Amino acid sequence: MKKSISSLLSAVLAVFACSSCAKSDEPTVAKSNTYVLVHGAWQAPYVWDAVRSDLENKGNQVIVVELPGHGNDQTPTHMLSLDVYTKKVVDAIAKVPGKVVLVGHSMGGMVITNAAEQVPAKISKLVYIGAFLPASGQNLGELATSDADSKLGQQLVESADHLTLDVKREMLASLFIGDGSQAAKDQVLAHYRPEPAIPFGNKVTLTAANFGAVDKAYIKTTQDVVISPGLQDRMIAAAGIKAVYPINTSHSPFLSQPHTVSDLLIKIAQ
Q: Would you say residue 24 has pLDDT above 60?
A: no
> Average of pLDDT values for 71-95?
98
* β-strand partners of 34: 61
pLDDT of 131 reads: 98
What does the pLDDT read at residue 31? 79
Could you tell me what percent of the chain has a pLDDT over 70?
89
Instruction: Give the pLDDT mean for 186-206.
Output: 97
User: What CATH number is given for 30-269 in this structure?
Assistant: 3.40.50.1820
- Half-sphere exposure at residue 243, Cβ-oriented, CA atoms within 13 angstroms: 16
pLDDT confidence tier of residue 17, bands split at 50, 70 and 90 = very low
DSSP H stretches of helix in the chain: 2-25, 49-57, 82-94, 108-118, 140-145, 169-177, 182-190, 229-239, 253-256, 258-269
Q: Could you tell me which residue, 124 or 25, shows the higher pLDDT? A: 124
The pLDDT value given to residue 22: 39
Residue 64 has pLDDT above 50, yes or no: yes
Judged against a pLDDT cut of 50, whether residue 269 lies above it is answered with yes
In the predicted model, what is the mean pLDDT of residues 196-223?
98
Kindly indicate the confidence band of residue 30, based on its pLDDT and cuts at 50, 70 and 90: low
Residue 267 has a pLDDT of: 97
- End-to-end CA gap in the chain: 52
Looking only at the bridges linking them, the beta strands covering 156-158 and 123-129 are unpaired
Q: Which one-letter DSSP state was computed for residue 244?
A: E
* 85 neighbors 73 (Cβ within 8 angstroms): no
Length of the chain: 270
pLDDT at position 162: 97
Rounded Cα–Cα distance for residues 250 and 225 (Å): 7
β-pairing, 123-129 with 100-105? parallel
Q: Is residue 261 predicted with pLDDT exceeding 50?
A: yes
- Looking at this protein, which amino acid is placed at residue 180? G
pTM of the model: 0.89
Rounded to whole angstroms, the Cα distance separating 8 from 4 reads 6
* Residue type for position 151: K
Mean pLDDT of 31-60: 97
- Rounded Cα–Cα distance for residues 223 and 250 (Å): 5
Please name the amino acid found at residue 202.
N
Domain edges within the chain: 30-269
Answer yes or no: is pLDDT of 100 > 50. Answer: yes
pLDDT attached to residue 149: 98
Confidence bin at 29 (pLDDT 50/70/90): low
Report pLDDT for 173.
96
- pLDDT value at 28 more than 80: no
Q: What is the mean pLDDT of residues 228-243?
A: 98
* For range 220-231, the mean pLDDT: 98
Backbone angles phi, psi at 256, to 5 degrees: -95, -35
- Residue 2 confidence (pLDDT) above 50: no
- Using only C-alpha atoms, the chain has a radius of gyration, in whole angstroms, of 23
